[in-house]
Amino acid sequence: MEIRREDLTFISKVKNSPKIDVIAGWLKTNRFLICILFSVILGVALGLTLRPLHLSSESITLISYPGELFLRTLKLMVLPFIISCLIIGAANLDISKNGNVAVRTIVYFIVTSVFNVCLGLTLGLIVHPGSPDLRPKNITSFSGPKKMNAIDGFLDMGKNLLPENLFQATIQQTLTEYETTMSANNTQILKKVVKYKDGTNTLGIIFFCLIFGTILGTMGERKRPVLDFFTVTYEVMQKILTGVIWFTPIGVASVICGKIITIVDLTTTLVQLSLFIMTTIGGFLFYQLVIVQFIYFIIIKESPWSYYLSLGPALATAFATASKSASIPITFKVLDEKLKMNPKITNFVLPIGTINMDGSALYLSVALLFLAQINNLQLGIGEIITIGLACTAASMSSAAIPSAAIVLVIMLCSVINIPTEDVSLLFAVDWLVDRFRTMNNLIGDCYTVAIVQHLSKDELDQNDDVNKTEPIDESHTNSSFVMQDLEQNGRINECFTNTPV
């Protein structure tokens, strides 16, 4: 067959077409997202195909095995990753040097995180997205720990917050139970017994790390060797997590396929997951479009919408990459050049924004309630408050990389003794929910900059008068950890989706 010159010319034009280059570039930068979507579709298709065959339990175990290994790997990295991240984040705040600006920033971070947890708990309890019908076949409903009254929950929370042994807290947590014993006159009586149950004491570890990191941050140059150790540990764990995340498509396809095969009522499952998506995304949009706008208007007394719309490029990057760190350079550019925010505030607030994860706080609370409802676990006021405190603290240790909140969900399951196997249900929808969650995380930082700058106006004016001859550092490099974090996340997001805006 003869190839004509016209055909070669046409092929050359197609190959060098700008549209082809754009498509190829999009496919390259979004290849991780495409792999996740493909794995979800593959897992659903295989599950629906194999479901009518009524496979044996051994076959189902083999199908679910890669997903089980994936979950075990994530659980393996929980403690070193969370401990190093929390200590570094708390140490870099250095409250003693940044004074009122640091206090206002931290207070705003805590208040908004607590509000988002409360919003998530409220939505989860009202909508009730979980159902016990989602439990796999031949597995009894999970009853959870038995407590006689709400006061036991509060007392256990305090005991777990201050564990007797930090090493024991990594594998056990305190639990109050009532045992039936026989009295001297042969009558049955209930005796309160404080026991240790298997499972990581999340509250105790998080509380210790926050206190340790905060005190470490006030020790000047003497903190450097310890901080360097945890910084290196953090970077190592991020590299390991980066490699593990590339096995996410295999793990996701495995767990979804296994779940579909074992689910009793598939229709109920689809309905409940849809309710979970609507609950979380509805909460994200309500906070993003109503609550933060109202806070901005009340404190600054200006219309918030021009400020919100100006953040478009940064929000688009956060949505595309599902990583707040990937959008940090664009966020700096928008805040400093377009919105003319004070660089002293942006240089301080944005780097420590790694502990401000409003979207993750809301998501974690809804996810834990969803899993508790699946297991038909009746939660008292003590357990709900425990969930709230744990989600607030854990959200501050969330890594700014895609789907990091899934690791925290696995960790928090031990707070109310929920089986971690059910977390696999969330993998099917996390790729979508994660994008809205990341936008809320970023918005929290951007609005913190505006509000803290407004509240710190007098101090900033005084500092400008004293230091008006000093050059302003525009490199946004307040600490070695921040730069290392940005560089590390830059390399991570090159593997994921470094989508240009």
Quickly count: other Cβ atoms within 10 Å of residue 255's Cβ.
26
pLDDT class of 460 with cuts at 50, 70, 90: low
**Residue 292 confidence class, pLDDT cut points 50, 70, 90:** very high
pLDDT, residue 477, reads 38
- Whether 308 shows a pLDDT value over 50: the answer reads yes
Q: How far apart are CA 93 and CA 99, in angstroms?
A: 10
Place of tokens 């595309």: 320
Instruction: State mean pLDDT over 424-439.
Output: 80
Q: How far apart are CA 170 and CA 378, in angstroms?
A: 26
Asked if 427 and 406 touch (Cβ cutoff 8 Å), the reply is yes
How sure is the predictor about 18, in pLDDT bands with cuts at 50, 70 and 90? low
Phi, psi of 485 (to 5 degrees): -65, -45
CB proximity list for 258: less than 8 A, separation 6 or greater: 47, 60, 63, 64, 67, 424
- Which of 12-26, 85-99, 295-309 tops mean pLDDT? 295-309
Considering the chain, what percentage of its residues have pLDDT values greater than 90?
Answer: 13
pLDDT of res. 488: 41
HSE at residue 402, side-chain half, CA atoms within 13 A, is 30
* pLDDT (0 to 100) of residue 490: 43
- pLDDT the model gives residue 118: 94
Alpha carbon distances (Å) from 372 to 173, 337, 361, 377, 378 = 18, 46, 17, 5, 8
**If DSSP codes are grouped into helix, strand and coil, which group holds residue 6?**
helix
Q: pLDDT (tens digit, 9 = 90+) per residue, 337-372?
A: 888 888 778 877 776 776 788 988 999 999 999 988
Q: Given this model, what pLDDT does residue 73 score? A: 80
As a whole-number percent, the residues of the chain with pLDDT over 70 amount to 74
> What average pLDDT does range 466-480 have in this prediction?
44
pLDDT in tens, 71-81: 778 777 777 87
223 class by beta-carbon count within 10 Å (0-12 exposed, 13-18 middle, 19+ buried): middle
Global pTM value: 0.62
Tokens of 333: 């550019």
Q: Answer yes or no: are the C-beta atoms of 124 and 370 closer than 8 Å.
A: yes
Q: How far is the CA of 211 from the CAs of 89, 162, 204, 349, in angstroms? A: 11, 11, 11, 20
